[in-house]
Structure 1
Amino acid sequence: MGATRNVPPAAGAMLESLRGLGYTTATAIADLIDNSVSAEADHVDVVFEWNGPDSWVRVADNGRGMSDAELEAAMRLGARDPRTQRRPGDLGRFGMGLKTASFSQARILTVASSKAGHERCCLRWDLDLLGGAEGSWLLHEGARTGSKDRVEAGLTEDTGTVVLWENLDRVVTDGFTAQDLIELIEQVDGHLAMTFHRLIDDGLEIRINGRRVRSWDPFLTGHPGKAMESVEYRLQNAAGVVAQCHVLPHKDLLKPAEYESAAGPVGWPAQEGFYIYRNRRLLLAGGWLGLGERGRRWTRDEAHRLARIRLDIPNSVDAEWKINILKSTASVPVRLRSQLTRLASETRDVAKKVFAHRGRLVTGRGEAGGGIPDMWAVHHAASGNSYRISKQHDLVASILDRAGPLRSDILSLLSLIAETVPVQKIWLDTAEQTNVSRGNFAAAPDEIETTLTSLFEALVEFRGLSPDEARLRLSRTPPFDQHPDIVQRIGGHEE
């Protein structure tokens, strides 16, 4: 063996470099809560205290706590080998989260802990005190002068751990005000509500400045307006990997508060796609993981905004899925890509239909007992799709059959309407506005009945259906399927 040299990293320079990993305040606090969950805590209390440059953040839990030796190990960078097998419920991996998350926000990290059968212990990193001899990693005992009360106030249980951030130089920057802190707290609340929503539903209680964090379910589980909520699929050749496909309701089927909530922290388009969980903790929210079809990767777009797929993975496959330290990126193993592509493709297809048909998926149109054909037909061409009023629509076909010398004028009118439909404007209005008109029929029963009567006569006199058959088809055709009482009155029929 050749000569070797021992080249330890310079403590201060290394830690300053690690501060730039890319944490936000919300993701950093979520990393601390991961440790609380791993320590079997069921209550986590987050406190933001505004005091200008001396503002601080504290995260306290009632977990099993740590002994002095365990705390010292936890404060060491790279405390655990990421290749080591974890307990099934462990949310950690790299042994870096406590330190890197904390240093991304603050220059002083103090951790105190109480464990049954052990004395309370407290250790502190201070980045301003690491500039000594090269290779020195000076870990201080106890809180800094004047901060002991801040730590002690968080240790209200017999067991538990307190993490205190001080000198928040990455948070309280020039111009940062108390109002900015209030807005930051709201961002953290939204992120924790999403990240830990399943654990919160299981009994984990998280409070921010005394206010309980309410879980945010990205799938609107159990909502009656959903077009898809599949069974759980266990992927082949992937032990413990489970997928469930969801298509959320169209905005027309949601109350305003539901629609606003379902948009999530960053809005509808950004929230579509896969949601990857490890031990029921959300790692990645939205996006299509680089999957696609016919050589093209899927991107987030309006047409598929209602598609969301839950994907659970065990904590033993982090390396295979390339989970990073921030728990913010993942890559699908090659052997699973075809299975997930198929599930995603089916989910996207349903989502697109729901989006296009405003949430009403009527099967069997044009068949016996089905609804009547759509008024609009799509024509596909190399230059793009175009939209035409369908001449196969029963009312249109009936009018053209009876039009006589006006037939050519009516066809010209239909062509003109088709050529001047403001497709782009309608698309933008539908995508951007929360209150898009559902059509005049919803507020004009007389107009509904007049239109239904014309359609009924076309079906009976032109298509040769019986009155009952005509009413059945109309009852399965949007938007008339929303008015069954009026449909039943057509043709002098009453239930």
Structure 2
Amino acid sequence: MIESLRGVGYSVETAVADLVDNSIAASARTIRLDFHFDGPDSWMTLLDDGRGMGPEELRSAMTVGGRSPLETRSSGDLGRFGMGLKTASFSQCRCLTVATLPESGALSVRRWDLDYIARPDVNEWRLLTGPSAGSEARLAGLASSVSGTLVLWERLDRITAGLTHDRRSQDAFFAMVARVEQHLAMVFHRYLEGPGARLRIHVGGAARLRPWDPFLSAHPATEPTPVERIPAPGGAIQLQGFVLPHRDQLDDETWRRAAGRDGWVSQQGFYVYRNDRLLVAGGWLGLGEPRVWTREEPFKLARLAVSFSNSGDAAWEVDIRKSVARPPRAVRPRLTALADSVRTVARQVFAHRGAYGKRAPVSDLVPAWLSATGRRGVTYRVNRDHPVMSRVRENLGHHHESLEDLLRIVESTVPVQRIWLDAVEQGEVQSGAEPLDPDQIDAMERTAKALIDHLTSRVGLEPTLVRARLLATEPFQNHPEVIDRLLPPSTETP
């Protein structure tokens, strides 16, 4: 049976996160993870400063299924089935040792050794006492603690399979450690955030782990919706949507970091929290109307937070790995409605390039391109009512038919698939709001000057109205500095 528990489906990242859950449940404030590379003999420890356990509590914690999932848990308990410590550990190692020290108590050490249990002369599941021979020093981190627990993983067969002592193996091992760090920074970011953070995690003696906020909550260009509290089976949930800033409003490091572990497209959607611990990082939870939503490029700036307590476990169908949750039927309509609204705004921000500063409302924007949906799908055409287009057609007079011929060729050959592939493969294509080179500045200024002259002299608009119109017209809305030079806010003439 114990061998079968190894196939539950944990990754090393989710397995370590399960250990952190136990530390948080034990009121730990600091957790130290150490991964020691020694080829196939590599090992790992997790040390916390929680309240520790007495001998009987440790024995119960090491018993498979020691607590029922139906048992009422404290509000701060992140456990679920009473199996996390064992199944998470067995999924990665063949020897699990737990040493624990309660305040004003004695040190207790228990060990599961799967190789010992598998011996033909052993006919019982024996929970051993003390560390394996030669591993005593690996428990030394607990010696100077007032209280706490140390988890030791040895014989990491699922992690070290195929590893030797060479440089390539070492690089692969520490790449795995980096993935663990990234996962913990995401899953426990609500515990790690702020000057009064509830938790500190250190990996390999490094500085405290920096939390990964999927919503860029502190960025001024992030657009949050109000927090909603919704009655639901198993207890009320909290719901909030976020539209993240466009690429043009983020520096390179912030954009790269906000992309998360799997990239912008994969990280869109719902983030489901149980007691502030992240269970689901992205995806649309099978919601969507009229068809189920999938992760698509235009909606990559849309993210939503859903939070519930551990009393909602059954209603949300939380699995043993705490990596799957399904919304109860009663809350799906509201989740769908808010997500649809957030997706709509996110698509507008994505499509309209997130220009710096105050933008014209999307409904007032004069786009250079228009889209239409017909029987053959979406088609794109140049906006004939764009001010620049109107001026050119007027200047051409009866020769404007040649311009129409050219526009039809351009419209019939828009490389939609190529643009889409570039966006998916490169993460972003040039949006038109990037800094201009000198030649581009000259060309834009010439076009703007001609348009200003046309709108003031021939159309008869006041300069203030001309300025407002240009700042709501592509591509000038992305480069207000060009308009400022030609038509400053306080100037009556260009």
* Fold-level similarity (TM above 0.5): yes
Is the Cα contact below 8 Å between 1:198 and 1:281 reproduced in 2?
A: yes
Q: Paired residue for 2:176?
A: 184
Deviates more, 1:348-357 or 1:23-32: 348-357
Give the C-alpha shift of residue 314 in structure 1. 0.8
1:141 and 1:130 map into 2 onto residues whose CA distance is: 14
Give the C-alpha shift of residue 133 in structure 1. 8.4
Written as runs of structure 1 = structure 2, the 5 A alignment for 1:57-72 is 57-72=44-59
Partner AA of 1:170 in structure 2: R
Give the C-alpha shift of residue 478 in structure 1. 4.2
Partner AA of 1:424 in structure 2: Q
From 463, 470, 480, the equivalent of 1:467 is 463
Deviations 1:48-86 (A, max 9, x none): 111223211111100000000110010011111111111
Is the Cα contact below 8 Å between 2:271 and 2:305 reproduced in 1?
A: yes
Is the Cα contact below 8 Å between 1:376 and 1:389 reproduced in 2?
A: yes
Is the Cα contact below 8 Å between 1:453 and 1:491 reproduced in 2?
A: no
Q: Paired residue for 1:116?
A: 103
Deviates more, 1:355-364 or 1:383-392: 355-364
2:480 and 2:256 map into 1 onto residues whose CA distance is: 30
From 382, 402, 422, the equivalent of 1:409 is 402
Change (3 A) 1:80 1:467: same
Q: Paired residue for 2:227?
A: 232
Change (3 A) 1:273 1:398: same
Q: Paired residue for 2:421?
A: 428
From 261, 267, 273, the equivalent of 1:271 is 267
| Other structure's SS at 2:2 match | helix
Give the C-alpha shift of residue 441 in structure 1. 6.9
Give the C-alpha shift of residue 411 in structure 1. 1.1
From 71, 76, 82, the equivalent of 2:63 is 76
From 380, 390, 396, the equivalent of 1:397 is 390
2:122 and 2:362 map into 1 onto residues whose CA distance is: 77
Written as runs of structure 1 = structure 2, the 5 A alignment for 1:291-440 is 291-294=287-290, 296-360=291-355, 362-364=359-361, 370-371=364-365, 373-433=366-426, 436-439=429-432
Is residue 197 of structure 2 the alignment partner of residue 210 of structure 1?
no
From 73, 82, 90, the equivalent of 1:86 is 73
Unpaired segments ≥5 residues, structure 2: none
Change (3 A) 1:63 1:414: same
Change (3 A) 1:155 1:249: farther
Partner AA of 1:310 in structure 2: A
2:256 and 2:184 map into 1 onto residues whose CA distance is: 18
| Other structure's SS at 2:158 match | coil
Q: Paired residue for 1:9?
A: none
1:378 and 1:458 map into 2 onto residues whose CA distance is: 27
Change (3 A) 1:408 1:476: closer
Change (3 A) 1:446 1:33: same
Deviates more, 1:188-197 or 1:200-209: 200-209
Give the C-alpha shift of residue 129 in structure 1. 2.0
Is the Cα contact below 8 Å between 1:323 and 1:330 reproduced in 2?
A: yes
Give the C-alpha shift of residue 155 in structure 1. 4.1
Unpaired segments ≥5 residues, structure 1: 1-13
Partner AA of 2:138 in structure 1: R
From 158, 166, 169, the equivalent of 1:170 is 158
2:475 and 2:337 map into 1 onto residues whose CA distance is: 32
1:412 and 1:487 map into 2 onto residues whose CA distance is: 31
1:458 and 1:224 map into 2 onto residues whose CA distance is: 37
Is the Cα contact below 8 Å between 2:215 and 2:244 reproduced in 1?
A: yes
Is the Cα contact below 8 Å between 1:230 and 1:246 reproduced in 2?
A: yes
Q: Paired residue for 2:11?
A: 24
Q: Paired residue for 1:4?
A: none
Deviates more, 1:148-157 or 1:129-138: 129-138
2:458 and 2:370 map into 1 onto residues whose CA distance is: 21
1:494 and 1:86 map into 2 onto residues whose CA distance is: 65
1:354 and 1:463 map into 2 onto residues whose CA distance is: 31
Give the aligned CA root-mean-square deviation in angstroms. Answer: 2.1
Deviations 1:5-41 (A, max 9, x none): xxxxxxxxx0100100111111111100000011111
TM-score where L is the length of structure 2: 0.91
Q: Paired residue for 1:41?
A: 28
Change (3 A) 1:60 1:299: same
2:460 and 2:39 map into 1 onto residues whose CA distance is: 80
Is the Cα contact below 8 Å between 2:47 and 2:141 reproduced in 1?
A: no
| Other structure's SS at 2:242 match | strand
Partner AA of 1:229 in structure 2: P
2:276 and 2:346 map into 1 onto residues whose CA distance is: 25
Is residue 245 of structure 2 the alignment partner of residue 249 of structure 1?
yes
How many residues matched? 476
Is residue 282 of structure 2 the alignment partner of residue 286 of structure 1?
yes
1:491 and 1:146 map into 2 onto residues whose CA distance is: 79
Is the Cα contact below 8 Å between 1:109 and 1:164 reproduced in 2?
A: yes
Give the C-alpha shift of residue 346 in structure 1. 0.7
Give the C-alpha shift of residue 493 in structure 1. 7.6
2:160 and 2:480 map into 1 onto residues whose CA distance is: 60
Give the C-alpha shift of residue 198 in structure 1. 1.2
Give the C-alpha shift of residue 436 in structure 1. 4.0
Partner AA of 2:114 in structure 1: L
Is the Cα contact below 8 Å between 2:29 and 2:50 reproduced in 1?
A: yes
1:107 and 1:172 map into 2 onto residues whose CA distance is: 12
Give the C-alpha shift of residue 397 in structure 1. 2.1
Q: Paired residue for 1:102?
A: 89
Give the C-alpha shift of residue 415 in structure 1. 1.2
From 131, 134, 145, the equivalent of 1:146 is 134
Give the C-alpha shift of residue 307 in structure 1. 0.9
Q: Paired residue for 2:217?
A: 221
Deviations 1:454-473 (A, max 9, x none): 22234334544222211122
| Other structure's SS at 1:59 match | strand
Is the Cα contact below 8 Å between 1:30 and 1:192 reproduced in 2?
A: yes
